[in-house]
Chain A
């Protein structure tokens, strides 16, 4: 082993020697580094292009000349014979990567940094020139490792004026690097910048940098990004506001950096213009001070920064409350609330015979039940988030014990509706059963139950409102959640207070018994679904334990009306056993992850994979989903996993990535937060690696196919 490790590099070196223009690449931790030359020989008296080739491992990146909020630019220092001089490293335009608040500029794939080498025309240093340089870089993933390599390259020297022959091995790499190097801006562009307010009036965090490029006439539609050379000029994580006016003037505004102190005499940087037809082009800008109107805050459209652009700004509080209210009403119709709704409807029909006052009381109790549970859930969510936990709406369903308990509840309610057991004096579900005729407790608990089962159904309008709520002070967030609860309770509240609306419901009669029995089946289906979710979060062991629990529940309910002390004791024992099963490690343990991706199906989502695919210019469809999210599953079956969409994906070489939020995953929670979504589903499309756009939460095949086209 040792012998090989010594001989290996030596052998490699030996093999490399006869080849001009290539020393063996140096392998360091996570980076392969190499000095390469464009041509097979160096020209005396001419311009020679060399390149520092760096290939970070997948998921790792090295930095651009301005690394952003952290990191370190790659550097190259030469040891050259007299008369030979090397220029500065040339930098292809970088890629932006964001981790929380930290934004970096760098390269996550193999990159060639060109550098020019000049030899005197009267070169007399011999037939070959041995070049030596030390490259230093910082390579980072979630942690950073500084690296360096002593690179060398021996090349023959051709006399001045002789024809040059390109080295075929590096032709493509140099071509790619040149295409990505910033070009000098055309002479007829007028580039000016302004800083507002001027220092020293500037308070960090309040100032704006604005730049205007007059006469550029960029085509509308493509993403445009500006990367400054100075690291302290801009707040890298702030959105770039763009205005690409019809008169051909492009304006860019961005918040000043937290460490900006003084307006420079000139601002230098690279403007990258993405075009769906011709690809990306980079221009080097040198802006001089001038009068530039800042781009208003709302105008983030088409900017490099996706979050606000996608969400279309922040809704106002009134709008958020209205959306939440509507979302709550719609929630009544979502498949996960439907069984609940049917039970409540039965109770309403039955209760119609009673006096209106009692109906009103029940409606209020139900509403209080809904509001109290929403307040409780929202409170828990806010406190946990305040404590730094990365969770979002629907987090309850990431807890296997909660899911199993919900399955028990649905099963018991189903059995009751099927007529196995009569709770209290009337045929009611468990929640209703608590009422008997005496109190409003039952209606209150029906409300609690409705919220418990509604949580996985993030109704379309709810996403925006909840996303808004979570970004607001606790009081506002609570208001939005309560508005949502009010929406959920609204239909029954209205019927309670306006009995005439109740007249629209069918008359009571013997048909109700049949209806109740039929309604048991959606509940059984819900049980199957919950068990499937549980099996996904835990494994089949956890699922089996919960099913044993269901048998215990069934046994206990069968014993319900059997007289005798023994039956009472057995019943208690069975119920306790069902509860005890919930505490077994099989149910409590969240399994590590999902099975491997199936061929033709989606690939697992990761931030790195997205960056990589975007760098390749691929169109990406990202689908954030969870087993317990009915809306997500519905979209997958109705819209995404259809022939039309699959053909479109195949035809346009679309990468389909799926992020599974069935279990808590901070990386996905972070993305959801970035797009102001508090839960799944979230669909993002990056057309040809461009800026992401957010699709609606209810999809059709046509929506998906249309979204793949550049706008």
Chain B
């Protein structure tokens, strides 16, 4: 109640609503709403995908942990498989200008083409607003939101922190498992895991 009041006061006085949400998102609670520009310059809001499961994938093209999932095609395969099953896959770039992984829309599209990625959209978040809203810590850091807008997964891409693509088959694929469970109408059995990777390059 106090936190809500605090938020309300802040939002009323200065429009800092995004920053006011100090608490990390919680499993089983509504996922924080956001709206930003994608790599094609279009405005994208979480609510655009109401009714669909949504995956948020924090990325940084220069980060070796991200490269480890893209080099062997593992991330692209996940994107293709699940967007094919009606999931909206939103790749988010929160690197601040001048830091590793920062790209403009054209740069993001070039990266997507070059690595053969298949996200639904690439969201540009150079101010880190969405990153802080979700408390995204690493690249990759993965979130899954169900069709009702509830956060059902927050954590790592898999169980084995590594920068070596050869390690991927040995890891427990947390995100894949969670999506399979979600699409089968089952509760996600491991909704919270430790994300691993490079720190998100906030300003």
Residue numbers of A with Cβ under 8 A of B are 67, 69-70, 72-73, 99-102, 136, 138, 140, 142-146, 203-205, 231-232, 257-259, 261, 379, 382-383, 386-388, 390, 473-475, 478, 666
Contact = CB atoms under 8 A, between A and B. Distances in A.
Contact of A144 (B64, B127, B194): B64
A366 B19 CA distance: 35
Nearest to A262: B192
Contacts of A666: 203
A67 B195 CA distance: 12
A142 B99 contact: yes
A69 B198 CA distance: 9
B77 interface: no
Interface stretch (B44-52, B110-118, B160-168): B160-168
Contacts of B162: 72
B164 to A, nearest CB: 7
Nearest to B137: A69
Contacts of A478: 13
Given A143-B100, A261-B192, A475-B10, A102 B203 contact: no
Contact of B164 (A136, A259, A382): A136
14 contacts: A69-B137, A69-B138, A73-B161, A100-B199, A136-B164, A144-B63, A144-B64, A145-B64, A204-B192, A257-B194, A382-B16, A386-B15, A386-B19, A475-B9
B14 A383 contact: yes
A135 B32 CA distance: 42
Nearest to B202: A100
Contact of A259 (B63, B193, B197): B193
A386 B129 CA distance: 10
Interface in B54-97: 62-65
Contacts of B198: 70, 140, 143-144
Contact of A474 (B13, B62, B65): B13
Interface in B1-33: 6, 9-10, 13-16, 19-20, 23-24, 26-27
Interface centre among A379, A388, A478 (most CB of B within 10 A): A388
A473 B64 contact: no
B155 interface: yes
Most chain B CB inside 10 Å of its own CB: which residue of A73, A100, A258: A258
A136 B201 CA distance: 24
B101 to A, nearest CB: 9
A69 B137 CA distance: 7
Contacts of B197: 70
Contacts of A261: 192
Given A138-B163, A205-B24, A259-B195, A388 B203 contact: yes
B135 interface: yes
B196 A70 contact: yes
Contacts of B15: 386
A205 B6 CA distance: 18
A100 B48 CA distance: 32
B38 to A, nearest CB: 20
Given A102-B137, A259-B194, A474-B14, A388 B128 contact: yes
Interface of B: 6, 9-10, 13-16, 19-20, 23-24, 26-27, 62-65, 99-100, 127-129, 135, 137-138, 154-155, 161-164, 192-199, 201-203
A136 B162 CA distance: 10
B61 to A, nearest CB: 12
A703 to B, nearest CB: 36
A279 to B, nearest CB: 31
Contacts of A474: 9-10, 13-14, 16
Contacts of B202: 100
Given A70-B199, A259-B192, A387 B64 contact: no
Given A203-B26, A231-B194, A146 B64 contact: yes
Counting from the closest, the 6 A-B pairs by CB-CB distance are A146-B163, A386-B16, A232-B194, A102-B199, A70-B199, A259-B194
Contacts of B138: 69-70
A246 B190 CA distance: 43
Contacts of B129: 388
Contacts of A382: 14, 16
A142 B201 CA distance: 8
B13 A387 contact: no
Given A70-B197, A474-B13, 9 more contacts: A67-B161, A70-B198, A100-B199, A140-B198, A203-B26, A259-B154, A259-B155, A388-B129, A473-B10
A204 B64 CA distance: 28
B199 to A, nearest CB: 4
B193 A69 contact: no
A204 B24 CA distance: 8
Contacts of A145: 64
Which of B129, B194, B195, B202 has the largest number of chain A CB atoms within 10 A? B194
A388 B97 CA distance: 12
Contacts of A379: 14
A143 B19 contact: no
Contacts of A73: 161
Contacts of B27: 204
A475 B13 contact: yes
Nearest to B63: A144
A138 B64 CA distance: 9
B196 A72 contact: yes
Given A70-B137, A138-B163, A205-B23, A387 B127 contact: yes
B200 to A, nearest CB: 8
A555 B132 CA distance: 54
Contacts of A258: 24, 135, 154, 192
A140 B201 CA distance: 13
Contacts of A390: 203
A342 to B, nearest CB: 37
Nearest to B139: A70
B113 to A, nearest CB: 23
Contacts of A387: 127
A358 B129 CA distance: 51
A261, A382, A478 — which one has the most chain B CB atoms within 10 A of its CB?
A261
Among B196, B198, B203, find the residue whose CB has the most chain A CB atoms closer than 10 A: B198
Contacts of A146: 64, 163-164
B166 to A, nearest CB: 11
A204 B155 contact: no
Contact of A99 (B13, B65, B163, B199): B199
A231 B203 CA distance: 25
B154 to A, nearest CB: 8
B100 A72 contact: no
B95 to A, nearest CB: 10
Nearest to B141: A70
Contacts of A388: 127-129, 203
A390 B96 CA distance: 13
Contacts of A70: 137-138, 196-199
Contacts of A386: 14-16, 19
Contacts of A205: 23-24, 26
Nearest to B193: A259
Contacts of A72: 65, 161-163, 196
A490 to B, nearest CB: 26
